């Protein structure tokens, strides 16, 4: 049974505040510190720290940070221990309030890495009344087979509650929500669309990722602006001990990441870049094949500040290039190229500053997403630009041993523009702009009411200025009831608002263009209510089972209006509402001979237009199963296996064709035609079920002064034909159907290295 | 999704995926397709008759490769020929009752409603199943009038729609600093290498501007259509027709004349022209008919002519005089015809610079002509085809010869036998001999 001091310490582990109580402040002190691995200065999580001879203990968080409160002011000794690490004891002088400790790894480092995750999830279970939360660390991500390289979002797609529509998208449909309803943050910077063109690759480089928190619903008041989920990606800091170079070369891409300290300033840096090069490889054979590639870069600088504070700046740049020659150049005349532009730019600053018993956490960021489609030069072009400038500050305090209160203020200014036209013809078909500003404040409390009951009440208030000023109240309440030390029931209810929408038609099988709009006098603010109730059971430290049921309502959704009139503002979308209900099951094993998880989700969701038309959205999948296992493989490898199953997804059936004729005004005649399909009920048909087996083998050895990690993986081992899209022909007898499949059997290989 | 974008998506899809094998599916659901555009501004065309095309969609019962006249499943080109200039729907709906009524003039001389039939008592129109013709001058159509359509098939399917008739008060052309009204007959010359053609239209009850550019003298050239949600549009002389990939993808070529048409359309037509059903989502087309799919719209237009010239940077470009005489054997009992044609020749902006176009004017085989020619250089030989419009028919006269820089071109043969239309003067298949020279002036 942990003491209340240790509960407070564990709260600090999750960065919620300092444990020292005001009454104890005069006679005691708090010590804030970091525990790092001696080999690479990476933060060590889950290290147990106790004050020798004192009833004070805690554990380090993902960054290796810890706080011990209520320590005597005299000199003390702190003991550090964790499986996989050489235990150590250090002295903290009287008057010393900060400390940094480096621990050596033991020979069973792999075991330590595998058990690293369990303490975090276990401690969250013990401390937090929060449903639907899963954390992934880089090893979880890299050991889940993926397309070409480890991808955080593709790993999240294997968790319960998510539906992946096809192999080519990293879009997240979470518990019936649409892909624009997820708050995706990179070090606190919101990203509009964290994917590259087509949706096959995400913007996140796993080498730089520290951890990923995924909240699938019922999330607390500190998060706002989206209806369905939160994906919080935190980059790690650069190695503070020495300079390192990470690299990876694979079948499709190459990347490098350099990190290290800046002299002895305590400042660390990390800078990485990535590029696909299938275009370059294939161009050796035919320069017209696949004129597409993407490149992205990431950078982070972090510095400690006095008083155990820290300041970090994170930047991201990504750009996709597709330049297809449509009409050749001729002498004296330029040709025409089909160009697709797609890019993300983001920069953010995070200042974390303990202030005695409080902690101030401040974020400033700018995030931009652009997408464009055009026939160049100047023939026709569509562009969508979306930018958000945001600032927020959270203040965490602990006004008692049983409360952890966080109060926050924030502001987000959006700037979204859409333009379609032809510079050559000097016409503008459509021009829209949206400028919503959202002011927000929240208050939440993690209240350990009784030993067996944790409450988490919260309230988020948002004021949206967008032509029509609107004030929105979002109550959020969570509760956890412990029946035993290892068994608890958790529930949460909450209301969520979203002032921006993407009205891209999500039924289109590949993402070529986005279309972000914002709330204004004619565009509504989306709303969703969540009710989540779940049960979680732990079997020791290494096995957990959770079952969660949920019900969500959706109001004021925006669905693309095919008949929008460019001269009418506000008809770009059709208002819709909907609901989603389901059940998610997660069985997760940490460490041991094998680790991984079994994720099952049952879900039903529906949308309804204002005219009463009801339809299933394209992600309405009844059953989803993902089994991810990591274990020892042949030839000394680490093997990752993933089996996925998905019950049929909906699509709109095609029941005929017609000749859409083209009219000639001069001749008063129909002089041409185009074939067009005729459809039946929207999303009234179902594709066949989906299944896929992937295998990954990874080795590790040292050579030439570095660490080498070659890998080989096969996606879709059984080469199952999973349908992607259908095409129909009704202009022949009998009518026929063909189509395109998702990924066939696809082997990839590569090697990572660290120097 | 606007028209054309789904084909770009298809390219990306095809790069990324594998084909599924083709399987048979059940017969689909046939739908009545009605397409008609009312024209209040063409009192003389087709004897002043409006027409509506009524056909059935393809449902897999019969394929497009089906000839309704013979009942045989073989490919025919009915759909590919301009309707109603010889083309007709391959899946027509026959014996439908087609009415059009002017809701703002219900009691006019045309009757209430106006009945369209597929076999009107006239020889001025092309009669085929699926094409329904109204009486001359009916319905009455004034700017702002609302017309209602009703189509009922023998199976009881009913399709309805309405359109509001647009009106055009005037249109001007601004090119090379000159402003020309479309109301003034004539031809405007512009330099396609440096000039921009601007159009301004004044109208009422209109939603969209449609601009058409067609090669003068060639009714088989479908030309270029530009749609603009505005009353003004600018067309650079060197713009490329990006949605038609082929040998001639410049909208304008120097050495050619163009028929330039501007039209104002109603909102139904605007929606019809700008939208299409996506092949994969099945949605996208904005259908303003009830009970069926298609268009019932209205449109007014005006036309002028353009003459495109260009910069002469190639030594082969310039003014030429073609003189010569035809083989006497061809003119038994007649005086041999001598030819004296002036050519204004331009090289097309293609990579091999082998194609040319030219304005031709003067005395030709059949008399005085003012037309254009297209040609091709191949090594030291050349071929040129003079397009000549006689009535509504286009005659193509072919010349062959040799050329050498700085020297007169030698015309060796004139061969009308290869022309697509027109009177053949060939005797027993032999080409007509023509001896002449083309001398650069």
CA atoms within 13 A on the CB side of A24: 19
Task: Determine how many CB atoms are found less than 10 A away from the CB of residue B233.
Answer: 22
pLDDT confidence of residue A503:
84
Q: What mean pLDDT comes out for the span A638-655? A: 95
Find the CB nearest A330 among B5, B261, B349. Answer: B349
Q: Which helix (H) or strand (E) holds A4?
A: helix A4-13
Cβ contact A674–B18 (<8 Å): no
Residue A661: the pLDDT is: 94
Q: Give residue A425's pLDDT.
A: 81
Has residue A482 got a pLDDT over 80?
Answer: yes
Nearest CA to A229 out of A278, A279, A179 is that of: A179
Q: Give the residues across from A79 on adjacent strands.
A: A50, A89
> What number of residues does chain B have?
441
Q: Say whether A379 and B242 touch across the interface (CB within 8 A).
A: yes
Nearest CA distance, B139 vs chain A (angstrom): 16
Q: Which residue has the higher pLDDT, A429 or A619?
A: A619
Confidence band for B78, pLDDT divided at 50, 70 and 90: low
Q: Taking the alpha carbons of A561, A563, A565, A571 in that order, is the dihedral positive or negative?
A: negative
Residue A659 pLDDT more than 90? Answer: yes
Contact B280 A508 (CB under 8 A): yes
Q: Cα B326 to the chain's mean position, in Å?
A: 34
Shortest Cα distance from B160 to chain A (angstroms)?
18
Contact yes or no for A365/A346 (Cβ under 8 A): yes
Sign of CA dihedral B189, B190, B191, B193: negative
Q: What is the pLDDT of residue B28?
A: 93
Contact A658 B284 (CB under 8 A): no
Per the DSSP assignment, residues forming a β-bridge with A689 are: none
Chain B CB contacts of A728 below 8 Å: 25, 28
Q: Give the pLDDT score at B416.
A: 55
A42 or A338, which is more confident: A338
- Residue A12's pLDDT is 29
**d(Cα B13, Cα A509) in Å, to the nearest integer?**
8
Strand partners for B37: B297
Residue of chain A minimizing CA distance to B219? A667
Strand extents, DSSP E, A451-572: 453-465, 470-484, 487-498, 500-502, 516-518, 526-539, 543-560
pLDDT at A64: 80
Answer whether residue A483 shows pLDDT above 60.
yes
Q: Which of B1-15, B213-227, B334-348 has the lowest mean pLDDT?
A: B1-15
Per DSSP, B251 falls in state: S
Rounded CA separation A139/A155 (Å): 11
Between B16 and A752, the higher pLDDT residue: A752
- According to DSSP, the residues that pair with A596 across neighbouring strands are A589, A629
Asked if pLDDT for residue A286 goes beyond 90, the answer is: no
Confidence of residue A9 (pLDDT cuts 50, 70, 90): very low
CA–CA dist A541, A95 (Å, integer): 37
Instruction: Give the Cα separation of B25 and B29 in Å (integer).
Output: 12
Residues of A in contact with B57 (CB under 8 A): 656-658, 678, 730
The Cα–Cα gap between B134 and B141 comes to: 13
Q: What percent of chain B has pLDDT over 90?
A: 49
Which range, A282-286, B298-302, B336-340, is most confident?
B298-302
- For residue A255, the SS3 value is strand
pLDDT in tens, A314-370: 999 999 888 777 777 766 667 788 888 889 999 999 999 988 888 899 999 999 999
Measure the CA–CA gap between B395 and A299, rounded to whole angstroms. 70
d(CA A196, CA A676): 30
Model pLDDT, residue B77: 62
Determine the pLDDT at residue A582.
Answer: 97
For residue A341, give the 3-state DSSP assignment: strand
Q: How far is CA A642 from CA A64, A476, A645, A719, B170, in A?
A: 30, 35, 10, 14, 69
pLDDT of the residue at A333: 65
Is residue A115's pLDDT more than 50?
Answer: no
Output the six-digit token pair for B326.
């035809």
Report whether B237 contacts B194 (CB < 8 A).
yes
Residue A744 tokens, joined: 């066939």
Would you say residue A4 has pLDDT above 60?
no
Q: What is the mean pLDDT of residues A507-534?
A: 89
> What digits encode the pLDDT tens for the residues B387-400?
776 666 666 778 88
Rounded to whole angstroms, the Cα distance separating B195 from A425 reads: 13
Q: What is the largest CA-CA distance in chain A?
A: 99
The whole-number average pLDDT for the span A162-190 is 92
**A731, A736, A738: best mutation site toward chain B, by most B Cβ within 10 Å?**
A731
Say whether pLDDT at A511 is over 80. Answer: no
pLDDT tens digits for range B93-125? 999 999 999 999 867 778 779 999 999 998 888
| pLDDT of A528 over the 60 cut | yes
DSSP of B102-123: ETT-TTSTT-SSEEEBSS-S-S
Secondary structure letter of residue A537 according to DSSP: E
Q: Which two tokens stand for residue B184?
A: 């003034």
A723: nearest CA in chain B?
B20
* Spatial distance between the Cα atoms of A79 and A92, rounded to a whole number of angstroms: 11
Nearest beta carbon to residue B21 from set A566, A735, A738: A738
3-state secondary structure of A458: strand
- Cross-chain CB nearest to B233 (options A427, A665, A737): A427
**CA A567 to CA B2: how far, in whole Å?**
15
Inspect the interface and report whether the beta carbons of A740 and B19 lie closer than 8 Å: yes
Q: Please give the average per-residue pLDDT across B274-302, as a whole number.
A: 95
Under DSSP, is residue A353 helix (H, G, I), strand (E, B) or coil? strand
Instruction: Indicate whether A282 pLDDT > 70.
Output: no
Asked if pLDDT for residue A38 goes beyond 80, the answer is: no
- Exposure of A64 in the CB half-sphere (CA atoms within 13 A): 23
Q: Give dist(CA A645, CA A45) in Å, integer.
A: 33
Pairing of strands B51-56, B97-102: unpaired
- The rounded mean pLDDT for chain B is 83
A330 to each of B349, B350, B378, how far by Cα in Å?
A: 6, 5, 18
- Phi/psi at A192 (nearest 5 deg)? -70, -50
Place of tokens 């992205």: A296
- Is residue A375 within 8 A of residue A326, CB to CB? The reply is yes
Question: A229-235 and A182-186 as β-strands: parallel, antiparallel, unpaired?
Answer: parallel
pLDDT at residue number A716: 93
* pLDDT confidence bin for A75, thresholds 50/70/90: confident
Residues 6+ apart with CB under 8 A from A46: A59, A60, A82, A115, A116, A118, A119, A120
B8/A338 touch (CB, cutoff 8 Å), yes or no: yes
pLDDT given at position A99: 82
Total CB pairs under 8 A between chain A and B: 265
Residue spans of alpha helices (H) in A88-162: 109-127, 138-142, 152-156
Matching residue, tokens 């001999």? B433
Q: Measure the CA–CA gap between A612 and A577, rounded to whole angstroms.
A: 10
The alpha carbons of chain B give a radius of gyration, in whole angstroms, of 25
Residue B355: half-sphere exposure toward Cβ, Cα within 13 Å: 16
Q: What share of chain A is helix, strand, coil (3-state, %, to 5)?
A: 10, 60, 35
Helix extents (H) in B215-361: 267-274
Whether B250 sits inside 8 A of A665 (CB atoms) is no
Instruction: Calculate ∠ Cα B365-B369-B371, nearest 5°.
Output: 115
Per residue in A374-432, pLDDT (tens digit) is: 888 888 888 999 999 999 999 998 766 688 899 999 999 999 999 988 888 888 888 88
Helical H runs in B154-279? 267-274
Distance from CA of B82 to the nearest CA of A (A): 4
- Closest by CA to B344, choosing from B225, B189, B207, is B189
**How far, in Å, CA of A231 to CA of A186, rounded?**
9
Give the C-alpha separation, B441 to B437, whole Å.
12
Q: Burial, A676: exposed, middle or buried (Cβ in 10 Å; 0-12, 13-18, 19+)?
A: buried
Would you say A212 and A247 are in contact if contact means Cβ atoms under 8 Å apart? Answer: no
Q: Tell me, what's the ipTM?
A: 0.89
Structure tokens at B129: 């199943």
């Amino acid at each position: 049974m942990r003491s209340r001091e240790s509960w407070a310490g564990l709260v600090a582990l999750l960065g919620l505040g300092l444990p020292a109580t005001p009454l104890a402040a005069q006679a005691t002190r708090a010590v804030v510190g970091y525990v790092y691995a001696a080999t690479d200065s990476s933060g060590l999580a889950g290290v147990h720290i106790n004050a020798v001879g004192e009833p004070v203990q805690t554990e380090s968080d993902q960054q290796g940070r810890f706080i011990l409160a209520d320590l005597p002011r005299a000199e003390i000794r702190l003991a550090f221990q964790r499986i996989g690490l050489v235990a150590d004891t250090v002295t903290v002088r009287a008057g010393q309030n900060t400390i940094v400790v480096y621990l050596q790894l033991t020979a069973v480092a792999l075991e330590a890495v595998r058990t690293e995750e369990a303490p975090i999830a276990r401690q969250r279970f013990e401390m937090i009344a929060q449903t639907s939360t899963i954390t992934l660390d880089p090893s979880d991500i890299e050991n889940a087979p993926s397309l070409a390289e480890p991808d955080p979002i593709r790993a999240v797609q294997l968790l319960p509650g998510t539906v992946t529509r096809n192999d080519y998208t990293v879009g997240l449909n979470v518990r019936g929500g649409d892909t624009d309803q997820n708050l995706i943050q990179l070090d606190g910077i919101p990203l509009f669309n964290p994917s590259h063109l087509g949706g096959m690759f995400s913007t996140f480089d796993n080498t730089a990722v520290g951890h990923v928190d995924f909240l699938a619903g019922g999330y607390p008041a500190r998060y706002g602006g989206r209806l369905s989920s939160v994906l919080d990606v935190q980059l790690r800091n650069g190695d503070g001990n020495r300079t390192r170079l990470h690299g990876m070369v694979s079948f499709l891409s190459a990347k490098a990441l350099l990190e290290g300290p800046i002299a002895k300033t305590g400042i660390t840096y990390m800078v990485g870049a990535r590029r696909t090069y299938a275009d370059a490889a294939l161009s050796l054979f035919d320069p017209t094949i696949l004129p597409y590639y993407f490149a992205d870069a990431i950078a982070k600088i972090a510095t400690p500040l006095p008083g155990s504070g820290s300041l970090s700046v994170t930047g991201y740049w990504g750009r996709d290039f597709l330049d297809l020659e449509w009409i050749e150049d001729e002498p004296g005349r330029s040709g025409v190229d089909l160009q697709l532009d797609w890019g993300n730019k983001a920069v953010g600053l995070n200042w974390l500053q303990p202030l005695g018993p409080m902690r101030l956490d401040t974020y400033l960021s700018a995030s931009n997403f652009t997408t464009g489609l055009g026939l160049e030069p100047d023939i026709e072009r569509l562009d969508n630009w979306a930018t958000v400038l945001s600032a927020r500050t959270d203040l965490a305090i602990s006004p008692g041993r049983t409360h952890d209160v966080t109060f926050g203020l924030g502001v987000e200014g959006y700037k979204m523009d859409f333009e379609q036209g032809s510079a050559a013809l000097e016409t503008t078909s459509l021009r829209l702009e949206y400028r919503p500003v959202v002011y927000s404040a929240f208050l939440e409390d993690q209240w350990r009411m009784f030993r067996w009951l944790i409450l988490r009440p919260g309230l988020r208030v948002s004021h949206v200025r967008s032509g029509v000023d609107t004030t929105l109240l979002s109550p959020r309440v969570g509760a956890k009831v412990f029946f035993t030390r290892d068994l608890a029931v958790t529930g949460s209810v909450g209301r969520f608002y979203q002032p921006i929408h993407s009205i891209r038609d999500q039924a289109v099988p590949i993402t070529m263009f986005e279309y972000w709009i914002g709330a204004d006098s004619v565009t509504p603010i989306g709303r969703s209510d969540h009710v989540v109730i779940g049960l979680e059971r732990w079997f020791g430290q290494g096995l957990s089972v959770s079952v969660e049921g949920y019900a969500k309502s959706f109001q004021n959704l925006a669905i693309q209006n095919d008949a929008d009139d460019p001269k009418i503002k506000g008809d770009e979308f059709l208002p819709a509402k909907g609901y989603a209900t389901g059940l998610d099951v997660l069985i997760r094993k940490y460490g041991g001979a094998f680790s991984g998880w079994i994720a099952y989700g049952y879900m039903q969701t529906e949308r309804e237009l204002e005219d009463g038309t009801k339809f299933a959205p394209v992600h309405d999948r009844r059953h989803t199963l993902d089994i991810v296992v990591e274990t020892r493989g042949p030839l000394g490898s680490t093997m990752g296996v993933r089996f996925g199953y998905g019950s049929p997804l909906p699509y709109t059936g095609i029941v005929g064709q017609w000749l859409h004729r083209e009219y000639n005004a001069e001749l008063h005649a129909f002089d041409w035609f185009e074939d067009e399909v005729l459809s039946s009920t929207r999303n009234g048909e179902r594709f066949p079920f989906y299944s896929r087996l992937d295998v990954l083998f990874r080795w590790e050895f040292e050579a030439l002064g570095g660490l080498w990690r070659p890998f080989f993986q096969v996606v879709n081992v059984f080469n199952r034909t999973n349908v992607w899209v259908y095409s129909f022909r009704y202009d022949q007898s009998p009518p026929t159907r063909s189509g395109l499949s998702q990924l066939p059997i696809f082997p990839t290989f590569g090697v990572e290295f660290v120097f | 999704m606007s028209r054309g974008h789904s084909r770009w998506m298809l390219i990306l899809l095809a790069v990324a995926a594998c084909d599924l094998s083709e399987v048979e599916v059940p017969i689909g659901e046939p739908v009545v397709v009605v397409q008609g555009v009312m024209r209040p501004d063409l009192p003389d065309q087709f004897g002043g008759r409006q027409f509506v095309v009524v056909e059935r969609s393809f449902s897999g019962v019969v394929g497009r490769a089906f000839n309704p006249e013979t009942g045989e499943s073989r490919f025919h080109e009915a759909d590919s020929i301009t309707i109603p200039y010889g083309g007709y729907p391959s899946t027509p709906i026959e014996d439908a009752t087609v009415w059009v009524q002017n809701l703002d003039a219900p009691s006019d001389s045309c009757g209430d409603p106006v009945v369209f039939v597929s076999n009107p008592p006239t020889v001025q129109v092309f009669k085929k199943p699926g094409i329904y013709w109204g009486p001359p001058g009916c319905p009455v159509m004034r700017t702002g009038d609302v017309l209602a359509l009703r189509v009922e098939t023998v199976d009881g399917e009913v399709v309805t729609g309405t359109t509001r008739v647009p009106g055009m008060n005037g249109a001007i052309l601004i090119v090379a600093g000159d402003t020309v009204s479309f109301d003034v007959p004539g031809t405007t010359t512009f330099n396609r290498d440096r000039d921009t053609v601007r159009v301004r239209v004044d109208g009422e009850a209109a939603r969209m501007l449609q601009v058409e550019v067609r090669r003068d003298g060639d009714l088989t050239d479908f030309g270029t259509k530009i749609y603009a949600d505005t009353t003004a549009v600018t067309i650079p002389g060197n713009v490329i027709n990006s949605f038609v990939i082929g040998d001639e993808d410049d909208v304008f070529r120097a050495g050619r004349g163009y028929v330039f048409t501007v039209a104002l359309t109603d909102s139904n037509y605007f929606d019809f022209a700008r939208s299409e059903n996506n092949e994969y989502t099945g949605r996208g087309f904005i259908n303003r008919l009830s009970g069926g799919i298609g268009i019932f719209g209205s449109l007014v237009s005006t036309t002028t002519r353009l003459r495109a010239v260009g910069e002469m940077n190639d030594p082969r470009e310039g003014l030429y005089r073609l003189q010569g005489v035809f083989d006497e054997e061809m003119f038994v009992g007649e005086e041999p015809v001598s030819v004296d044609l002036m050519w204004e020749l331009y090289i097309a902006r293609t990579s091999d610079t082998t194609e040319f176009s030219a304005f031709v004017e003067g005395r030709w085989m059949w008399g005085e002509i003012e037309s254009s020619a297209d040609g091709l250089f191949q090594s030291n030989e050349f071929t040129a085809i003079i397009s000549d419009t006689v009535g509504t028919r286009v005659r193509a006269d072919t010349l062959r010869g040799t050329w050498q820089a700085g020297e007169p071109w030698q015309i060796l043969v004139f061969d009308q036998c290869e022309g697509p239309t027109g009177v053949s003067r060939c005797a027993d298949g032999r080409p007509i001999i023509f001896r002449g020279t083309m001398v650069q002036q």
